[in-house]
Structure 1
C-alpha cells in the first residue's frame, strides 16, 4: 500500500522529485526497488511514468530503439533470421529496455555476456551481435554516435565438428526409406541437401520452374546470393525420385506435401526429428540436417574446388570456421 503523500502534492503517485542546485529531477521507484530517472520536465516525466506503468517502452530508451528496429529492419531479413530475432530482442528489451541508448557502456555488454554465458554462451553471442547491429543502425538514425558493443570480446565457441560419412548417409537414407512414405521423402531430401549443399529453408521453397536445362537455380534467402547448381547424374536421379513421390495434387514446389504445398520449416523439422530419433534408437549416431550442408562444403574443399560458389558465402572465412569438417588437412610434399 502506497503511503499518503504529504509533500509535492502536485505529483502523481509513484513519482518523486529531487531539487538539485540548478534543476529538478523527477524519478520513480519500481516494486523491485529499482530507481528510474524520468527527466527534468514535469510533463515529459509524467508521460514516461505512464509508459512504464503500461509496459510500453519509454520514449528515447533502448526499448524504443529495439521496437523500431524490429519493426523497420528485422522483417527485411530472411524469414528464419527474423523469427529467431524476436525472442532475442525480447530478452534484450527486458535487460536494457529502460536505459537510454547513450548510457549503455561496453562494460554493460560484457556483463551481459558473462551472466547470460553461464547458461547459454552461444546464444549470448548471437544476442550481442543483434544488439550491436541495432546500435549500428541507431548511429545511422542519429540516436547515438558510437556502438558500445564494438570491441567487446565474445564468449568462446567450440565449432561443430560432426562429419557425416558417405556410409552413414547411405545407410540413413536406406533406413528412412523403409519406415514410411514420409521417410522416403526425407531420404530424397537428405540426398538433395548433400548434393546441392543448400540450406533447409531454400530447399523447401525450391519451385519446379527453377529446374532449368543447365541445373538448379537458387536465390539464397539469407544473403540473396544466386547459385546455379549444374546437373550431374546423381543430382538428376535425386530430383527425379522427388518428382516420382506420390502427390495427389500437382504443386509448384519440388518438395511438397500431399496437397502440393511446401512444408513449413517447423513441420519439416518435426518429421526429420522423428525419423532421426528412430535412427538413433536403432544404435546409430545422430546428425543434424545442417550437417549435410557441411558435408557438401567439406567435400568441395577436399576436391580443391571453390566451395563458396556452392555455399553462396562472400568469403571463405565462414567456410573455414563453420563448414570445413575435415579431421586433418592434406597436402603434398614441397618437392
Structure 2
C-alpha cells in the first residue's frame, strides 16, 4: 500500500510545504496535501504561506473585505462582468477598502453601511451606491465561503439618485466644439469624437476603438457592437448606424485630420500615441477640456454637460427631427426614461 509521502517543512515554511530551487535562481513553493497532488504556490514565499493559511482556514485576514476583494477577482462572477464594470468596481474599491478593508464580513452591520452612505460618502452619494453594490457582492462571496451568514447591504436603502434631465442645447454644443476644434490637433480629435457621439449616439465604449474597416461607405453604414449586453448576447448585437450626409461630412473631416498630422491610423479617434483611448484616459481628457472651456467662458458653468449627455442629445434630437426615439437599448422604456429629454410633448386632440 502506498503511504503518503512525508514532506518536511523548509526553514520558515508551514508543515507540508516544500521549496524547490529552479535553474534561474528562483524558488518555487508547493503544498502537498495528504493523498493529493502538489499545489503550486508560486515563487513569492510570503504569498505562498498566506495561500496555505487561507486553504487551511487559518489566515489572519480570512473573511476581511480586503481579502474578499482579492478573491472576488478570481471568481467566475468577476470574469463574466463587462470590462467597464471591472473598471467601475476597481475605482469603487479604493474608498470602500479605506473604510471596510480590515473589517471581517461577518462583523459588518447595517448601521455601518448606512453611516457609510449618509456620512462617510455624503459628498458622493451616487458613487457611494456603486461602492456598496461592490461591498454587497463581496459579502455574498463571504456567505458562499462560510465566512458570513447574512448580507446587511440588503437591509439598507440606497441614496436617492436624481437622473440628469437636460440635454446640451444645440447652441452650447456648437460653441464648445467650435472652440475645441481650434485647439491642439489632439484636442481637435476629441472634438470630432464629441461630434460623432452627438450624431451617431454610440456609447464611448462602443466607439473609442472604432476603426476604419467598420466604416462601410458602399453600404452606407457604420458597424459597431452594442455594449452592456448580458449572457449569450454579449458581443453579438451589431448596430448599423446609417451614414447620413452630416455624418459623411464628419468622416471626411476625420480623414483630413489624420492627413494633416501626416499619419495613417487604424482608429478614427486615436490618442497621441496612435492607439485607441481607454475609457479612463478619455474621461480624464474630457474633464480637463470642459473645465478649460468654462474657465475661458466658452460656455457658462450652469450649461456644463457630460460626454454621456451627448447620447441623450442624439436621442432627443432624433425624436424631434424624425418623430420617434432611436433604438438605443434592449428595452425601449429605458431609452424613453433615460435619454428622452424633450421638454415639449406633442399630442393630438380628439
TM-score, structure 2 normalization: 0.67
Number of residues of Structure 1 aligned to a counterpart in Structure 2? 279
**CA deviation profile, 1:100-137 (whole Å, cap 9, x unmatched):** 44454444332322223423211211111222333455
- Whether 1:64 and 2:34 are equivalent positions in the alignment is no
- Whether 1:161 and 2:165 are equivalent positions in the alignment is yes
Name the SS for the 1:262 alignment partner.
coil
Supply the distance in 2 between the matched residues of 1:117 and 1:94 (Cα, whole angstroms). 12
Give the match for residue 117 of structure 2: 113
Q: Is the 8 A contact 2:221 2:243 kept in 1?
A: yes
Gaps of 5+ in 1: 1-43, 52-57
Name the SS for the 1:244 alignment partner.
helix
Q: What CA RMSD, in Å, does the superposition of the two structures yield over aligned residues?
A: 3.1
Supply the distance in 2 between the matched residues of 1:240 and 1:96 (Cα, whole angstroms). 52
1:88-107 maps to which residues of 2 (within 5 A)? 88-107=92-111
* Structure 1 residues 196 and 140: CA distance shift in structure 2, 3 A: farther
Supply the distance in 2 between the matched residues of 1:237 and 1:221 (Cα, whole angstroms). 26
Give the match for residue 308 of structure 2: 290
Shift of 1:99: 4.3
**CA deviation profile, 1:149-191 (whole Å, cap 9, x unmatched):** 2352111222223421222222322222233423432332211
* Structure 1 residues 271 and 156: CA distance shift in structure 2, 3 A: closer
- Whether 1:216 and 2:230 are equivalent positions in the alignment is no
Give the match for residue 206 of structure 1: 210
Q: Is the 8 A contact 1:202 1:218 kept in 2?
A: yes
Name the SS for the 1:324 alignment partner.
coil
**CA deviation profile, 1:205-236 (whole Å, cap 9, x unmatched):** 11222223241121244434532212211112
Q: Is the 8 A contact 1:159 1:321 kept in 2?
A: no
Q: Find the partner of 1:234 among 227, 246, 253.
A: 246
Q: Find the partner of 1:197 among 201, 205, 217.
A: 201
Supply the distance in 1 between the matched residues of 2:113 and 2:284 (Cα, whole angstroms). 35
Supply the distance in 1 between the matched residues of 2:68 and 2:289 (Cα, whole angstroms). 43
Supply the distance in 2 between the matched residues of 1:257 and 1:248 (Cα, whole angstroms). 15
Q: Find the partner of 1:305 among 295, 314, 324.
A: 324
1:226-265 maps to which residues of 2 (within 5 A)? 226-245=238-257, 246-257=260-271, 260-265=274-279
Q: Is the 8 A contact 1:249 1:259 kept in 2?
A: no
Supply the distance in 2 between the matched residues of 1:91 and 1:278 (Cα, whole angstroms). 28
1:49-88 maps to which residues of 2 (within 5 A)? 51=60, 58-72=61-75, 73-74=77-78, 76-88=80-92
Shift of 1:304: 4.3
1:111-190 maps to which residues of 2 (within 5 A)? 111-136=115-140, 147-190=151-194
